[in-house]
Amino acid sequence: MIWVSWGRDAGSGRVLARDLGGSSRKAGSWNSTGGTEGLRVIEEGASRRRRARFLRGLLGLGVGFLALFVADAVHLRNPPSAQEGLGDAFVPDPAVADLASLGFGAVVADFYWLQAIQAVGGDVRITPELGAHLGKLVDVVTTLNPWVDHPYRFAGIWMTQNEQNVRTANRLLRRGIEIHPGDWRNHYYLGFNHFFYLLENAEAAEVLEGASQLPNAPRYLPRLAARLKSESADLDMASVFLQELLRGTQGEAARESYRSALDEIEVEQRARQLEAARVRFRELEGRDIEAVDELTRGAKPLVGELPSPEPSSLPASLRRGSEWIVDPSNNQIVSTYYGRRYQLHVPASDRERAEGWARERELREAAGR
């Protein structure tokens, strides 16, 4: 018999209980129980529910402790010699971590994902060593739980300190593409790394061509891929890349890096406009300018007003009265704010770094022949 509703008779004060489809009584009938049987059955039902809630809570607590035990066991199953001198920076081999996870791969993956997030938190300078450490953490995370999403792009954002880290990030991004083939974002970050850090335009174009065919992919991807195939990969393309990365990135350090590159691109675009006016000046006057403001003078000035030599995002309180000058070292129009011209599609420092990586790669390949 299942008592699920009860009340008290107004005249006698005796307890009445309703059986909603029990065994021998008619469903829906009210029965006088003498005030004890109905209460006892109801109290027993409440007691069973309390016991069930307690057991569920105990089971959840047990799973939590088991997850901690499994994460710790991953470390204990690695040879002690492999951990010496590494301290908190030690990360197990992904294959070993997978075997030691005892079927709790997703739980252990979360443990190492939290380590990766904490490693870049706060005011932390991302060194090549830390970048390599992040690569190991993300490798473990995506091996134990390959269906995760953001960790793949996390690697693409934070692992840019040297060529080895960039290529490790690319390997992880390709893993993400294999698991999430319909997500254009992993393709995008992979293409950007080839283009911006490795100067591999052909590889970037191939990746972006594939991404452009995916659902929800931005409409400009085919145009980017076409430009990368040509010799005219330029400022506009770099700007579009960086703006998209800025929109999709949460980390403030990475966002500031993208904003800085966009600022330099903006000033370079203005410098190129002035250089175009300078060419026209030579054609008309038969000589070169002595100062940049000559472009605004004369009966028919070629430039109505000189553009600002400083980024438009710069607050007024930080402006420092920069000027446009003709650099005597290379005869180029430059802003004194930067003191140099933007090199093609990456900032000078990034381009020098990428070219250095390319030279080192060529030397390694030559030594291996």
Domain limit, last residue, from 122, 151, 171: 171
Confidence of residue 7 (pLDDT cuts 50, 70, 90): very low
Residues 16 and 94 in one domain: no
Residue 212 falls inside a structural domain: no
Residues 66 and 99 in one domain: no
Task: Look over the chain and give the mean of its residue pLDDT values, rounded to a whole number.
Answer: 77
Tell me how many domains the chain contains: 3
| Residue (of 323, 322, 324) closest to 332 by Cα position | 324
**Mean pLDDT to the nearest integer, 119-125:** 80
Residues 95 and 55 in one domain: no
If one compares 18 and 210, the residue with the highest pLDDT of the two is 210
Residues 44 and 124 in one domain: no
Residues 84 and 159 in one domain: yes
* 3-state secondary structure (DSSP) of residue 33: coil
User: Cα separation of 92 and 45, whole Å?
Assistant: 49
Residue 30 falls inside a structural domain: yes
Look at residue 174 and tell me whether its pLDDT is greater than 90: yes
Tens-place pLDDT, residues 100-118? 888 888 889 999 999 999 9
Residue 286 falls inside a structural domain: yes
Which of 138-147, 189-198, 227-236, 274-283 has the weakest average pLDDT? 227-236
Q: State the pTM of this model.
A: 0.53
Domain limit, last residue, from 118, 146, 171: 171
Tokens for 53, please give them.
């809630």
Supply the range of the domain harboring residue 318: 255-343
Residue 240 falls inside a structural domain: no
Residues 84 and 48 in one domain: no
Residue 187 falls inside a structural domain: no
Look at residue 281 and tell me whether its pLDDT is greater than 60: yes
DSSP 231: S
Residue 151 falls inside a structural domain: yes
Residue 211 falls inside a structural domain: no
Tens-place pLDDT, residues 9-55? 445 444 444 444 444 444 444 444 445 555 455 556 666 666 666 55
What's the chain's Rg over C-alpha atoms?
33
Task: Specify the DSSP element, H or E, that contains 178.
Answer: helix 163-179
Tell how far CA 263 is from the center of its chain: 21
| Residue 194 CB partners (closer than 8 Å, separation 6+) | 170, 200, 201, 203, 204, 207
Predicted local distance difference test score (pLDDT) of residue 105 = 85
Residues 99 and 164 in one domain: yes
Predicted local distance difference test score (pLDDT) of residue 58 = 46
Confidence of residue 89 (pLDDT cuts 50, 70, 90): low
**Mean pLDDT to the nearest integer, 116-135:** 88
Residues 126 and 66 in one domain: no
* 3-state secondary structure (DSSP) of residue 289: coil
User: Cα separation of 282 and 277, whole Å?
Assistant: 9
Domain limit, last residue, from 70, 94, 114: 70
Q: Residues in the chain, how many?
A: 369
Residues 112 and 59 in one domain: no
| Residue (of 333, 336, 327, 329) closest to 302 by Cα position | 333
DSSP 152: H
| Residue (of 246, 270, 19, 254) closest to 159 by Cα position | 254
Residues 49 and 25 in one domain: yes
Residue 228 falls inside a structural domain: no
